[in-house]
A = this chain, B = another copy of it.
Amino acid sequence: MAILVIHGGAGGDGPWLGKTPLDPARIDCMKQVLQQVGSKLESGEIDCLEAVTLAVEMLEDEPLFNAGQGSVIGEDSTITMDASIMRGSDKAAGAIINVSKLRHPIRAANVILQQGWPVIMNSNAADEFGIANGVEEVSQDWLKTELRLGQWQQWKNSKDRPGSTDEDDSVLDHDLEGRVVTEFSDEGMGTVGAVALDSNGGLAAATSTGGMTGKPAGRVGDTAIIGAGTWADNKIAVSCTGVGEAYIRTCAAHSLATRYQFSSDLAQSATRLLDEVAPLGGRGGLIAITSDGEFIMPFQTRLMYRGSWKNGSLEVGIGPPLEQ
């Protein structure tokens, strides 16, 4: 048995309004990730750790997700990215904080995991470490897309508008022609992640993000934090998405692992965890997979980009309905 589950972020309030003009490309990307990485995982060509790394790399390469190229732009008009990865069998972990020069932040986190020590590396040192270890160096210009520059300008205009408050600093999802297609205001939207179970029973989890549009310099969300955005042990692997602060304050990914360990009820454990996170301002979602091969993709937002691959069978979804 080999299973791969991915997400491309959760967010939004209210009922799902159907796909935006940008969503078919996101769906296509998720299908490709599931097909390509899932096949390799099933054949035994790669293990769970490499599967989640490759899956997240492909999601980082899709500019419509908020990770790698196409990451959202911070207050000071730069992109800084966070990522973390964990292997369940030995609790090996790697994380990078606020990198700005890497095409694949998750690969840098993977290299950190492989080297074993330290577990977390920060900012310029993390960029330099990644580049020295073969992670492709890219420029800020390469990372920035027209879509994200438009969203950043929208955020800036909203912020500069007299009488504006943080509460109406919502960020608009433009299509490539600049038309507003949907509205969102939280970093969950577009953060990417993957969890995998390989044929040896190994579990791994990975998460990567550009954070949130207009984030203050130096702000670190849950994606870089082992136990908050990412967790894996020998029973479960978890990747979370949502407003990061609430996931940090609840130690969300580790909390789900613990709840599952005591109850053995995965769906109920996830519901209770999300119910605990939401009141702290952290409505969002998560993906999780267990050593028994059970997996879930719950969310409490308008939508969560998500998909799964199991025994050659593939499902993807954005709003409530799943499609093949």
Contact = CB atoms under 8 A, between A and B. Distances in A.
Contacts of A93: 248-249
B248 A120 contact: yes
Contact of A218 (B121, B226, B249): B121
A145 interface: no
A91 interface: yes
A50 interface: no
A117 B248 CA distance: 11
A122 B251 contact: no
Contacts of A121: 216, 218-220
Contacts of A219: 118, 120-122, 125
Given A91-B249, A227-B227, A227-B228, A97 B122 contact: yes
A93 to B, nearest CB: 5
Interface residues of A, number: 41
Contacts of A250: 91
Interface in A124-140: 124-126, 129
Contacts of A98: 122-123
Given A91-B250, A249-B93, A262-B262, A129 B218 contact: yes
A199 to B, nearest CB: 25
Contacts of A92: 249
A258 interface: yes
Nearest to A75: B125
A62 interface: no
A175 interface: no
Interface string A208-249: 000000011111110001111001000000000000110011
